[in-house]
Amino acid sequence: MHRGHQALLHSCRRRADALRLPAVALTYDPHPLRVLHPDAPVRLLTPVEEKLRRLQASAIDEVIVTRFTHDFSLLSPEEFLRAVVDALHPRAIVVGYRTTFGRDRAGTADVLRDFGARTGIEIEVVPPVEIRGMPVSSSLIRRTLEEGNVEEAAELLGYRYMMGCAVTRGDGRGRLLGMPTANLEPEPEKLVPADGVYAVTVAFCEGTRRGVMSIGSRPTFHRPHALEVHLLDYDGDLYGQTLEITFLRRLRDICTFPNADLLMARIREDIIAARAF
């Protein structure tokens, strides 16, 4: 849910207030790619649970989650719109300028305008939100995160990128070196930013701490790809908890160090940078 979606929700709220009607958001689950291309990797910016939290925290009165199935994907644009009208009886429909719906994504804003003209339903198409001349889009945000630019992603999203992670057992090497880390398993299908070392905040059952997070292989110890986070000013046991990681800034690339002492010296520099951010 980026700034473009937020503009759409604000427009929906204004239109609903003008008509003295509730503002309703319609979304799908599972993601259409999981149904139409089940073998293709899905990298979600906003899994459905997070999407629902954000929608419920917005000015929308009600959120309707429609189950996306193969049969549902075969509805023509007209059949899709008739199903929406029969179920919700809308006086107005608000969509984004790049909206598509119906079989083969044949439904467009122009198709919707024609439908509105025939049925008397008010149609509002929200124009793009642009930042530095670029329309904000999910694909742009994905590319930005895949480059590790979490600060630019935050500008496009309207909030800092977040990721839920379960804490799993590791080899305990960080604690032996005096720098304990939590090994993380990210939530399924959530897009993980580019490999690197990041300044983050970590929310968990005991509160919120600053942290330094590593995404990538651990070449100094010849270890495979992993996600790890060190919480500043915390020495408790996080195993079994779910952490909410918020990305603040990418500090550096993953590097190979000749020995553990040089690695630890660099991590101490990372901690200083994370505190200063």
Structural domains in the chain, CATH included, are 3-135 (3.40.50.620), 161-276 (2.40.30.30)
User: What is the distance between the alpha carbons of residues 108 and 111, in angstroms, rounded to a whole number?
Assistant: 5
Predicted pLDDT at 255: 87
Other CB atoms within a 10 A radius of the CB of residue 178 amount to: 8
Predicted pLDDT at 174: 61
What are 231's strand-pairing partners?
211
Mean per-residue pLDDT for 164-181? 77
The CA R_g of the chain, rounded to the nearest whole Å, is 22
Other CB atoms within a 10 A radius of the CB of residue 4 amount to: 24
Predicted pLDDT at 177: 65
pLDDT at 41 over 60: yes
pTM for this model (two decimals): 0.91
Predicted pLDDT at 178: 66
In 3D space, the residue among 157, 205, 170 whose CA is nearest the CA of residue 50 turns out to be: 157
Mean pLDDT, rounded, of the chain: 93
Other CB atoms within a 10 A radius of the CB of residue 208 amount to: 12
